[in-house]
Structure 1
């Protein structure tokens, strides 16, 4: 098909688009959801050939045996409390665990070998039974493969026959991890301990022998033997819990639904419950529960869950939903079916200590994890190369859930732009990967872990958002409520056709519009512009365009783009003032213009920015800086795109500018350019700082959440670039805290930024005060704020000391080591220190 374009004024369509966006987005997502169910779940059992199964592939289990269920018994020797008092004999802590598992499986292809996964625990006493005859099947030998496959191979003296059912018993024993992997121990306040699991993606095999691949779904029956004073939680409700003797009890759980092995979870602790309606229970440390820190999460969870049930028209399938705030967890949260685990800071809200804005993070994280109860748990990708189907859907759905649960926050656009920019940055590198990466490139555990990145989460969400928007537009244009196909001049254009290139190729396009001659073309956007750019971005798309004249209000039209190369619009003569493409950033692409149009847009921003949608005000800045970084426009253009900020009070444009300028600061902080850059930023932010000054000086914040975010940016940019009144404010409030030992004069929203700027402007005295407060605080939010602030000092010897502290888990928790080093690396004074430290201590730092 030859290149074509067409501009048509669809004002009625534009109005319907804006008013029907939410409904159409839901419709499109449900279409994709329903079509994915068949593709993502394991296929039905294959027919049963009589031939012997060939040796397994290098890193994947053969499909000749299909697990049906597991019966797992496990005993933890862990002591929850170690008493350390004079004249009191305390036991030595033990991290040992032992148990056994019986996997019931169906043979679909004749074989004389059994392959499953086991990595770590010592396995013994194998016993294989033919369930159809109740006879033992002799095992000649069993061995572990000494490679990354983690295969446990059992060689049999006879064949397992297709169509028959078997059970395999294995005993195991091992040691709990102290590195937040598989079954691990967490030490917290006053020498107290808990045990928890973290099995995604390939750690189930480090707990018990199993078929540890996502499409080997099975039912799990778990029994945990644990200390008398502790409580055990798992995916399913408790079936029975009884005392064994004066030291031990056992807890047996009901059957889980059929699920992947990585979703199995249990915890053993003395944590206590905060109840919600309908058996939605949040667990936390007893003192945190008593202080009400879990109340906000307990309030939001049923609300979010109800939204998803109504949205998907599908009830949450489990009888209970437990959530637990763990003192240590390697990811921020994990969506285990029926028992979601969180880092404390991701779930607990502390009145009077936590920032008001911290509620946004909590409701966002809960929304993401609850979305997984459908996308990921109920419907699961076949293999980890498609993890974006889990994470992209959950990220996208969380926009809708948060907006429903806390509409007053009005943070949907902020969440979208955050994901858009995270995806853009990573996807512009030659090291990026497609959403759907070829199977052969995702085999080992390290390759699987590499898929959990901004591409799977953020790009996945952005492509789904783009699809939802596209589906809604086409549905309106062709008069269909639910569409699955759009006819073109040649053949049929389906959702699958549309999505294929977006999911199977890495990167994204930059669309260049020349308003002088009306030409438009697209090509692969990369930061390294000298790298070969593919021509795969030959997509058919409807690009929302807003254009204006000096005398008229902006109008919305749709640009029909078909095929690669140059495309000429016949209406370009009408565009005699400015044109703005990708209105509200619905498309996953950047936009470049000819210099004249860039200048007209910047003039519009400086004279009346409200004529340009808020999301686009931020995106114009982001596009300009990143196009400059790729040497597609002049750096001067990028810097000029920030001139309008002097009179801007909205958050998104400022966030975009500050984030992009951080790259320039990193490039120029030791050059003569840095001084003039600071002067410019100081002048640009002065009006914004003064806009919030009455709030800041009186330790108050605006009601609007967006403005609350921007108040923090105003203080950060003003103090960082030497605005005297800002530095004096931070010093004064911090000094008041040091004198009175009372933080009431610093609003909880502003503590993190004021702590940081005061420590940056201070000396040893301020740093050591902050360190002492960090060590003595039991408040998760306060500790996180102080831990970041300690990295703000300009004294290299203090930063060096701080880096050394990260090697001591009694000073810096293992899960916080990587982020602490990152905070130090963001500081110009700490970049070289952090780099040398990471190289010298990689084995320890990488554990967190």
Structure 2
């Protein structure tokens, strides 16, 4: 998820066969479960297969069992019979509620007189003074319930019995309960929207990671798999959906699955459908107006293609008879891979060919591909515990590019992983406060800790490392490793590699991959073309920072090196010790296939820069982006002079490709963050204007003065870069163009066709920035009236671009009112204000003042909560700001930081590094820019 996912479907005996094939998927990628991992585990007994039916025992501790966050292993569920009745109208007190009853069948694997089952914020009907009824399936005499109580901290319903349950015997726990169908976006919750002026209410669910317990009592851990028989009571004019096929208000039994994949929805949505060649039913559900307008058509058209691709890729049929995909008005994450009932934000599933941008369309394809990848990898076979979340999310984040590429081969989307995942996660993984892909189990216990690992490391580093594995094995061998039925994943890859001559792999795959998964960070490979020596070291953005986390590998890696000399590809080799020679320029990590940075001796850097300036086409597109990104990052780590980084950008006046430009603008943005409030800002603006003007003129000519759209999607993206950055640096021709478009729209609000959807992000933001209250209020009205979620998202972001403080403060206050800003959008709205140089201190003051409320609303469950801290503190680069951060931490110890705990530590580390960097480089940057911008 990163995104969010659920599952449901009845497959019968065929599932047993599929489970063996799917074992390859997770167990074959189960790098974290080999014998080397045991050295880094908190519990050595937890080395069994990922798909074990019986969880490992919880270690003995001094606390009572109900005070521990992990369930004991004595009881294992097999079947749930759950009936839920959501009320879509408020009661006399204005509350929306749901009621339910549950019969869970569990087997006793170890005699015990204690039953612990998760339950959170549920009110129970009592039976003879107890919260539940317990019976024996065999009808034999059994112990009675002596005492029952609810444990708030660890979220349990606890039952103390008069005697012990019998090993090997199955029991039924019956409960009846009531909960609030709240707007918290967790568990069984309420989503609302207006249609034709009428408020509509949807009952929907989000169980990942620990919210199923808010819907019904359950053994809410991923290894505690069971079959779910779901019944949903609803009005006749509504439709109910769940993981399995519907039988009026009852659903077929699901496949055996984890609680976090369960889902149910009651709504008056409509749908479109198709049936695949293999008989699988595909439906796309959304608000009736959205379906009638055709906004679900694109998702329906590509879903079949992506499913068929994954069937070939996994060499396993889609394991369910149907897949429903539902667009929800209120949804916390991007999407959620519920088995057979995938839920999405509207922006991630709906597409209007007339109003959606190219980026919106790509997002729909990518998110669908990500979620459908989980139907095999993550749902059929699942991680034992959340510390290995990266196996689910890293894999889906990698293969989503393959699935989307199959649906839209003309986009060349696979190259974008370098920008969107590899280069993005480098900055976080270069901190001393980073963490390994595979964490110890004792580091991930509480719900807040679990939510906190849904982060860039799990998703993007996981994707980057798996892509590297695929690149050095070859995609064919990688895919073959997924379809071999061995018990262990890495043995599958090792076998596939052994069957393929010429790979030259120096160690077993698990020896190689352990170094990438069990220790944090990544190396910088340094090539000295004078001596031929190639070395590596742990790359840290602050080389003076102290790494407290020990590594059994001493922060060294087996590094696959693909390289070229003067434009000619060379044979791949593996670095522990190696020499190279270069007659002219040498370029390592071609197409950025490896997860590492590259440094060179100064002579080779000069040769590479000369090659860029003489004929940049001799260097692959992705590597032109890599040269810029590596140089700027090496500057921050004090490994090269700051002027070298700027020199790699000088050739950009001749560059027209999207990927190098995106990498350059991303790195220049850091300089804007650091220097926007200093005298460096003027020369930086002048230099950037000098670089961007030829690109603006290039697209002015290509698009016939901005009246047509480039054919290639990467050209469309670079057109956005050209107009957005040209206006940002104050180019008069750009600003005049935008003001004319926006004025026409204000004069004719019903007609926005002059502003192409691709350009609206830039146009709306610049117009609001250059305008005042009239422009802001106009965009606010357009936002409130928007019927397409992607258009509403653009307008909402633009409102944060104003430079008028009172407007920004009013906008921040709106985030506390869900009638103005939906809860799903509140945190990202605050972060958008913080990205504005005027809004940053306002947002920081707002968050500090409202921290208790924000923490209560989002601190334990929202996957966006860590991003609030990192987003607001991105500009921090002074001692005063560091002191404010430290004071913020001290002042809120009692309230807590929840899933943002590590993000706060990383913000403090990043701020310290930026203070030192600015102090050491400000004058050098100012001198160089002043000379170049003349």
List per-residue Cα deviations over 1:618-648 (Å, max 9, x = no partner).
0111111111112221111111111111110
Q: Aligned with 2:357: secondary structure?
A: coil
Partner of 2:929: none
Mapping of residues 331-730 of structure 1, within 5 Å: 331-472=333-474, 482-483=496-497, 493-532=507-546, 536-548=554-566, 553-562=567-576, 567=577, 569=579, 571-572=580-581, 575-694=582-701, 695=703, 697-730=705-738
Partner of 1:228: 236
Q: Aligned with 1:750: secondary structure?
A: helix
List per-residue Cα deviations over 1:727-760 (Å, max 9, x = no partner).
1011011111112221111112111211111222
TM-score (norm 2): 0.80
Partner of 2:329: 327
Q: Is 1:143 the counterpart of 2:149 in the alignment?
A: yes
| Partners of 2:430 and 2:521 within 8 A in 1 | yes
- The match for 1:254 among 252, 255, 279 is 252
| C-alpha deviation, 1:376, in angstroms | 1.1
Q: Aligned with 2:387: secondary structure?
A: helix
| C-alpha deviation, 1:254, in angstroms | 0.7
Partner of 2:782: 773
Q: Is 1:106 the counterpart of 2:124 in the alignment?
A: no
Q: Aligned with 1:281: secondary structure?
A: strand
Partner of 1:96: 97
- The match for 1:275 among 268, 273, 276 is 273
Q: Distance in 2 between matches of 1:222 and 1:303?
A: 30
- The match for 2:180 among 164, 171, 175 is 175
Q: Distance in 2 between matches of 1:538 and 1:157?
A: 56
Q: 1:587 to 1:32 in 2, by over 3 A?
A: farther
List per-residue Cα deviations over 1:758-812 (Å, max 9, x = no partner).
2222222222211121122222122111111111122222222221222221211
Alignment RMSD: 2.7
Partner of 1:161: 166
Q: Is 1:62 the counterpart of 2:64 in the alignment?
A: no
- Give the strand-richer structure, 1 or 2: 1
Partner of 2:245: 237
| Partners of 2:563 and 2:572 within 8 A in 1 | yes
| C-alpha deviation, 1:135, in angstroms | 4.7
Q: Aligned with 2:307: secondary structure?
A: helix
Q: Distance in 2 between matches of 1:137 and 1:29?
A: 41
| Partners of 2:814 and 2:820 within 8 A in 1 | yes
Q: 1:76 to 1:620 in 2, by over 3 A?
A: same
| Partners of 2:283 and 2:324 within 8 A in 1 | yes
Q: 1:475 to 1:752 in 2, by over 3 A?
A: closer
List per-residue Cα deviations over 1:158-178 (Å, max 9, x = no partner).
211111111111111121222
List per-residue Cα deviations over 1:321-359 (Å, max 9, x = no partner).
111100000001011111100011110011321113311
Q: Distance in 2 between matches of 1:475 and 1:69?
A: 39
| Partners of 1:99 and 1:172 within 8 A in 2 | yes
Q: Distance in 2 between matches of 1:793 and 1:624?
A: 33
| Partners of 1:236 and 1:253 within 8 A in 2 | yes
| C-alpha deviation, 1:492, in angstroms | 8.7
Q: Distance in 1 between matches of 2:360 and 2:827?
A: 21
Q: 1:441 to 1:484 in 2, by over 3 A?
A: farther
Partner of 2:829: 820
Partner of 1:762: 771
| C-alpha deviation, 1:501, in angstroms | 1.6
Q: Is 1:735 the counterpart of 2:762 in the alignment?
A: no
| Range 449-458 or range 630-639, more displaced | 630-639
Aligned length: 784
Q: Aligned with 1:311: secondary structure?
A: helix
| Partners of 2:560 and 2:573 within 8 A in 1 | yes
Q: Aligned with 1:67: secondary structure?
A: strand
Q: Distance in 2 between matches of 1:835 and 1:44?
A: 47
Partner of 2:803: 794
| Partners of 1:127 and 1:136 within 8 A in 2 | no
Q: Distance in 2 between matches of 1:425 and 1:65?
A: 43
List per-residue Cα deviations over 1:445-483 (Å, max 9, x = no partner).
11111110011101001111111122239979xx99822
Q: Aligned with 1:357: secondary structure?
A: helix
TM-score (norm 1): 0.88
Extract unaligned runs of 5+ from structure 1.
Answer: 1-27, 83-89, 242-250
Extract unaligned runs of 5+ from structure 2.
Answer: 1-20, 34-47, 479-492, 859-934
**Taking CA–CA contacts closer than 8 Å with sequence separation of 6 or more, which of the two structures ends up with the larger relative contact order?**
2
Q: Distance in 1 between matches of 2:413 and 2:569?
A: 26
Q: Is 1:71 the counterpart of 2:64 in the alignment?
A: no
Partner of 1:11: none
| C-alpha deviation, 1:151, in angstroms | 2.4
| C-alpha deviation, 1:133, in angstroms | 2.9
| Partners of 1:46 and 1:108 within 8 A in 2 | no
Partner of 1:120: 121
Q: Distance in 2 between matches of 1:732 and 1:466?
A: 47
| Partners of 1:350 and 1:781 within 8 A in 2 | no
Partner of 1:263: 261
Q: 1:753 to 1:29 in 2, by over 3 A?
A: farther
| Range 29-38 or range 712-721, more displaced | 29-38
| Partners of 1:231 and 1:268 within 8 A in 2 | yes
| C-alpha deviation, 1:36, in angstroms | 4.8
Q: Distance in 2 between matches of 1:696 and 1:752?
A: 21
Q: Aligned with 1:749: secondary structure?
A: helix
List per-residue Cα deviations over 1:496-551 (Å, max 9, x = no partner).
21111211111111111111212221111111210236772333333011112xxx
Q: Aligned with 2:448: secondary structure?
A: helix
List per-residue Cα deviations over 1:808-831 (Å, max 9, x = no partner).
212111111111111111111111
| C-alpha deviation, 1:597, in angstroms | 1.0
Q: Distance in 1 between matches of 2:572 and 2:507?
A: 19
| Partners of 1:29 and 1:468 within 8 A in 2 | no
| Range 774-783 or range 205-214, more displaced | 774-783
Q: 1:509 to 1:339 in 2, by over 3 A?
A: same
Q: Aligned with 2:708: secondary structure?
A: coil
Q: Distance in 2 between matches of 1:107 and 1:258?
A: 18
Partner of 1:18: none
| Partners of 1:484 and 1:495 within 8 A in 2 | no
| Partners of 1:47 and 1:108 within 8 A in 2 | no
| C-alpha deviation, 1:493, in angstroms | 2.7
Q: Distance in 1 between matches of 2:325 and 2:853?
A: 29
Partner of 1:21: none
| Partners of 1:77 and 1:94 within 8 A in 2 | no
